[in-house]
């Protein structure tokens, strides 16, 4: 359960939608090949900053289809996968079992990662009386997660808090410029104001078996500067900001989005006492 009522509604929506979502992803990517071919889930530009992840502790936030979690675990990282939807996690846990990957799956809201401070977690350098810090080497998030989260500062702030000082915070999001347009409209027609954060309310009741109950879902729009500021204010220095990908993706339908950046990659390093 999330304490945030809109996130709680989104959780119900994702629980209802997860089987259909996974089927759509499965039609595009073969999850069974990910551990042997991690480039199916991670772009070269991401790999450039991640480096060799073997033996590193990595937390994936809003892990969804868990393709990134499978890739990182396949490359030898010790992976914790966090998602608000237990149904998404259950599907991923079964697949991880089939792949022989040891991944820790945790149900949590990305704006409240208190559940990671269990006694089994490696303590931070502050010790019991210092600031809580579970000390991951890398926190990875993105691929359409921020759009579901009402408080970007808390989300990134929590992601950065669970890093060890000097750890890497990587966000790879669908670029905010691509979210502004009416779907399937040629030529492009603007549907949203770039600076309007929402919430935008939708109905996901078609995901329910009988489709009769209302199932509201809430989406948010975050700008490039919102994301950059949240990373800096969360306690990171900026290592990289990259925009890339300019083609159309099949799920984008007929909306002519080519020539606009598809990905916004932000890489931060958690500040240390010296930095």
Ligand X SMILES: C[S@@+](CC[C@H](N)C(=O)[O-])C[C@H]1O[C@@H](n2cnc3c(N)ncnc32)[C@H](O)[C@@H]1O
Summarize as ranges the residues that interact with ligand X (CB under 6 A).
Answer: 7, 10, 14, 62, 64-65, 83-85, 88, 109-110, 143-145, 148-149
Residue 37: CB minimum distance to ligand X, A: 17
**1 or 186: CB nearest ligand X:** 1
Residue 174: CB minimum distance to ligand X, A: 9
Q: What are phi and psi of 100, to 5 degrees?
A: 70, 30
**48 or 144: CB nearest ligand X:** 144
Residue 169: CB minimum distance to ligand X, A: 16
**110 or 236: CB nearest ligand X:** 110
**32 or 189: CB nearest ligand X:** 32
The residue at minimum Cβ distance from ligand X is 64
Residue 275: CB minimum distance to ligand X, A: 29
Residue 56: CB minimum distance to ligand X, A: 20
**250 or 274: CB nearest ligand X:** 250
């Amino acid at each position: 359960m999330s304490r945030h009522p809109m996130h709680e509604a989104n959780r119900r929506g994702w629980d209802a939608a997860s089987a259909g979502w996974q089927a759509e992803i499965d039609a595009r990517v073969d999850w069974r090949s990910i551990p042997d071919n991690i480039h199916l889930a991670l772009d070269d530009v991401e790999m450039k900053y991640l480096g060799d992840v073997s033996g590193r502790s990595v937390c994936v936030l809003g892990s969804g289809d868990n393709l990134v979690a499978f890739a990182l675990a396949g490359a030898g990282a010790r992976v914790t996968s966090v998602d608000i939807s237990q149904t998404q996690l259950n599907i991923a846990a079964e697949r991880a079992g089939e792949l022989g990957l040891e991944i820790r799956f945790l149900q949590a809201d990305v704006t409240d990662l208190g559940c990671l401070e269990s006694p089994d977690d490696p303590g931070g350098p502050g010790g019991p009386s210092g600031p809580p810090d579970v000390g991951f080497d890398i926190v990875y998030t993105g691929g359409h997660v921020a759009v579901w989260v009402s408080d970007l500062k808390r989300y990134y702030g929590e992601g950065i808090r669970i890093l060890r000082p000097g750890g890497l915070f990587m966000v790879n999001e669908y670029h905010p410029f691509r979210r502004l347009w009416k779907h399937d409209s040629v030529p492009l027609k603007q549907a949203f104001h770039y600076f309007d954060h929402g919430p935008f309310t939708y109905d996901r009741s078609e995901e329910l078996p009988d489709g009769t109950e209302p199932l509201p879902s809430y989406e948010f729009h975050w700008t490039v500067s919102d994301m950059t500021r949240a990373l800096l204010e969360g306690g990171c220095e900026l290592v990289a900001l990259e925009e890339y990908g300019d083609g159309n993706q099949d799920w984008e339908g007929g909306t002519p989005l080519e020539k606009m950046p598809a990905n916004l990659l932000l890489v931060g390093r958690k500040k240390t006492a010296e930095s």
